Structure 1
Amino acid sequence: MTPDIWMILAFAGLLIAGVPVAFSLALSGAVGIVLGLSPDMLATLGTNTYNSIAKYPLIAIPLFILTGLIFERAGVALRLVRFAQALIGPRHGGLALVAVLVCMIMGGMSGSGPADAAAVAMVMLPSMTKAGYPKPFSATLIAASASTAILIPPSVALILYSIVVPGVDLRALFAAGLFPGVLAGLALLVPAMLAAKRYGWEGTPVEGAERLTVRGTFREALPALLAPVLILGGLRSGLFTPTEAAVVAVAYGAVVGLFLTRELTLRDVWELLGEAAIISGVVMLIIALAGIFAWAGTMLGTFRHLAEWIIGLTDNGVLLLVLVMLAVLVAGMLLDAISIYLIMMPILIPVMQHFEWNPVWFGILLAMNIAIGQFTPPVAVNLMVTTEVAKIRLEHTLGWALLFVVAMGGALALVAIFPGIALWLPTVLGYNV
């Protein structure tokens, strides 16, 4: 067997053995270097890991992670829920609609599905349970809705995609993800509303909801609602770059938590800095060690060989796109978005270029696939968070998860068939697509 095959087999074997993704990438890359190049080339490991993270746009990732943590601790989710409840009023499926809307708005602050799921589940699950919603349904709906955070800007996954794929404008990606993100949320809402009506959930008003007024709750929720406007408005006006937008988002979140909601203290800020550092450290470790795998795969020609094999499967671009989407969907069930981009994009970039797929549109399709994987067992990172909050077992949610997979899969198919859903807004805004 050739060295590149040994490298791939080593990576698969390490993953099956339960070795963390970051170390699986590094060790399998080292195997490829030793067998295919020279043991002396192991001296490049330090340089490759450093070069992988020595990129200015990556600064935005830990900052947006910190932004999500700050808004979560600042009581923003509760205020958004109260405003949405007052706006929608008591009706069948009303709380399901609230959950989807709040998850989408929170996604416009954190860019992280698990953080979004945790914040909304803590607030929404008790209310939905009192209103008659089964816990497996509620947990799955919130997990699925929180997955839209990977699409709605600012998205950590899209930031990484813009770095991995050369020549892609991050502002165009952010704009392109907005309508597909909304479409995905609406797609989830359809089966949720139908189920609520069929089973008679929320037949009576939620306790305390009648005391909520739109004007009063809007005033409380306004600082949270302005966060996405501030980020996207600043990017559109050219006032700041995406990385600078992350700095502005952190500062704005701190002001909201310390002085407006007053649920954040300086001690909390210090703790959140540590928590964000830990989460960011995990992300950066994956990116850094993936640099070893990427360098070895490039030098050995592994990625080129795999891309040529994929292209040789069929001349039908539509059929191949379907196969790629299915492969990414399976990967999304097992791996996180960052690992998927780092592992698969070196292989998929030549395929994308061969069939002349628009890189912005293709990036959104990948993100939608990964979003579906975030609430699809066996791994389902978002679902793990919400089931932990609900105190139920993951397998109890399988039926509802499959229903929402079909719903979001329909939204994915629409974006694939009609690329304008993703590309219209960045084109109108004058971004390079």
Structure 2
Amino acid sequence: MTAFVLFGSFALLLLLSVPIGIALGLATLITIIYSGSLPLEFLAQGLVTSVDSFPLLAVPFFILAGEIMGKGGVSDRLFNFANTIVGNKTGGFAIAAILTCMFFAAISGSGPATVAAVGGIMIPAMVKRGYDKRFATAVVCAAGSLGVIIPPSIPMVIYGVVGTTSIGDLFIAGILPGIFVGLALIVWAYIYSKKKGYKGQTEKSTWKGFVEAGWEAKWALLVPVIILGGIYGGIFTPTEAAVIAVVYVLFAGLVFYRELKIRDLPKIIVNAALTTATVLVIIGTATAFGRILTIEQIPTQIANAMLSISENPIVIILLITLLLLIIGCFMDTVAAIIIVTPVFLPIATNLGYDPVHFGIIMVVNLAIGFITPPLGVNLFVGSGISGLSIESLSRAIIPFFVAMVLTLILITFVPHISLLFLGR
């Protein structure tokens, strides 16, 4: 009955359009009052203790680094570099947009931030080149999901904290899966462009143009090298890497590119602070929500229920995947990771899955939620940029959704994709 009150009140609050962080907190409070077994202070204590974590300091710093890079002229340079590689191919602009999102994902750690930074430039440019607006917007929305798969990734930080798993290992493990997802999106973009006759630019790519564009974008391209190289080389922790990323991109924007002005910093800091506050509220309330689940032994009951259906590892992992895809449609990624990790991680490890590999499976699963309504945050950002309705955009995104799900299945059943660089 306690579980019914907890999930029932949460679902009702979501239906009433209550923000997810507030809905989680109110559902927890209602359950505490109903059960009478916990003091009301439990929620307040959870809000404080859940964010009292050194690794979580990486979250606000990666958010700030993404905000700075988004305003510092990075998107233009990354696109120019990508365009010199594929711009003259069939569907060149669409493929260049996906590559730009992949590059930007290695900087921002956020899906919506990637869509906002790249979409503002690429969607109008693609429409001007004759691309259908629905397709152009869907391309950027789908590729924006790579923001949480390709490291650095805020959801990976959250999973690492909740699942007591190495964040550095998760970052390394996310590289190849992110590339695989990006390639799957590129394949569909090429097929669709071929069908519609979307030609590339008439100018041929030259080594000189490639080198010049690469040199112009070098400061942006160095960010993931510094972050991942420093972590994997044992020079600094992921949290320290986030701080270094902020200092580096601030210096690059002000001194190297000179498109970032001192007067822009207050607005950037305010935006980053608002985003951080939203994330931390969700982390706090989701943690309290998750502790109620643990106290009521709901994860154990769910695990037993799943194992009663089948003991076949393939069936169990497919059930978990299906549940995660459904959860991603309705719940914020950060909240979902905090709540379901204690439920599914023990099941996955008992099935023989490496915790790092399972973390990648979970992040890719929930990344697909960025393009699936009703939550579909990337769709809302893309809709705001293009002016298209969510309904229209949702139909256009279906082929990209299928491509991402097929890649997810590949990543799930071929652990080597995630664990190759870790030597496991």
Does the 8 Å contact 1:29/1:297 carry over to 2? no
Report 1:40-119 matches (<5 A). 41-119=39-117
Is the alpha carbon distance of 1:294 and 1:130 closer, same or farther for their aligned partners in structure 2, counting shifts above 3 Å?
Answer: same
Secondary structure at the aligned position of 2:397 is classed as helix
Equivalent-residue separation in structure 2 for 1:302 and 1:394 (angstroms): 35
CA displacement 1:386-421 (0-9 Å, x = unmatched): 221112112222333110111111111111121101
Give the aligned residue type for 1:28.
A
Runs of 4 or more, structure 1, over 4 Å off, are none
Gaps of 5+ in 2: none
Secondary structure at the aligned position of 1:364 is classed as helix
What is the alpha-carbon root mean square deviation over aligned residues? 1.8
Moved more, 391-400 or 45-54: 391-400
Is the alpha carbon distance of 1:26 and 1:185 closer, same or farther for their aligned partners in structure 2, counting shifts above 3 Å?
Answer: same
Secondary structure at the aligned position of 1:326 is classed as helix
Correspondence for 1:12: 11
CA displacement 1:136-166 (0-9 Å, x = unmatched): 1011111111101111110000000001112
Q: Indicate yes or no: 2:240 matched with 1:244.
A: yes
Does the 8 Å contact 2:148/2:363 carry over to 1? yes
Equivalent-residue separation in structure 2 for 1:256 and 1:126 (angstroms): 27
CA displacement 1:148-195 (0-9 Å, x = unmatched): 1111110000000001112x1111111111000000000011111011
Give the aligned residue type for 1:176.
A
The TM-score normalised by the length of structure 2 is 0.95
Equivalent-residue separation in structure 2 for 1:61 and 1:257 (angstroms): 21
CA displacement 1:285-320 (0-9 Å, x = unmatched): 011122321222222222322232223221111111
CA shift at 1:203, angstroms?
A: 5.6
Give the aligned residue type for 2:216.
E
Equivalent-residue separation in structure 2 for 1:354 and 1:219 (angstroms): 48
Correspondence for 1:354: 350
The TM-score normalised by the length of structure 1 is 0.93
Q: Indicate yes or no: 2:20 matched with 1:31.
A: no
CA shift at 1:352, angstroms?
A: 2.1
Does the 8 Å contact 1:133/1:202 carry over to 2? no
Correspondence for 2:324: 328
Is the alpha carbon distance of 1:89 and 1:10 closer, same or farther for their aligned partners in structure 2, counting shifts above 3 Å?
Answer: closer
Secondary structure at the aligned position of 2:224 is classed as helix
Correspondence for 1:139: 137
Equivalent-residue separation in structure 2 for 1:209 and 1:132 (angstroms): 21
**Percent sequence identity over matched residues?**
35
Does the 8 Å contact 2:105/2:150 carry over to 1? yes
Give the aligned residue type for 2:421.
L
Give the aligned residue type for 2:60.
P
Equivalent-residue separation in structure 2 for 1:293 and 1:116 (angstroms): 29
Give the aligned residue type for 1:148.
L
Equivalent-residue separation in structure 2 for 1:203 and 1:267 (angstroms): 39
Give the aligned residue type for 1:273.
I
Correspondence for 1:314: 310
CA shift at 1:209, angstroms?
A: 9.3
Does the 8 Å contact 1:310/1:351 carry over to 2? no
Does the 8 Å contact 1:333/1:380 carry over to 2? yes
Equivalent-residue separation in structure 1 for 2:329 and 2:340 (angstroms): 14
Report 1:221-300 matches (<5 A). 221-300=217-296
Q: Indicate yes or no: 2:360 matched with 1:364.
A: yes
Q: Indicate yes or no: 2:391 matched with 1:391.
A: no
CA shift at 1:333, angstroms?
A: 1.7
Give the aligned residue type for 2:190.
M
Is the alpha carbon distance of 1:402 and 1:323 closer, same or farther for their aligned partners in structure 2, counting shifts above 3 Å?
Answer: same
CA displacement 1:76-128 (0-9 Å, x = unmatched): 00011112222334231111111111100100000001000111111111221
Moved more, 393-402 or 364-373: 393-402
Does the 8 Å contact 2:106/2:224 carry over to 1? yes
Give the aligned residue type for 1:92.
T
Equivalent-residue separation in structure 1 for 2:23 and 2:222 (angstroms): 41
Gaps of 5+ in 1: 428-432
CA shift at 1:204, angstroms?
A: 5.2
Does the 8 Å contact 1:51/1:291 carry over to 2? no
CA shift at 1:25, angstroms?
A: 1.5
Equivalent-residue separation in structure 2 for 1:213 and 1:142 (angstroms): 25
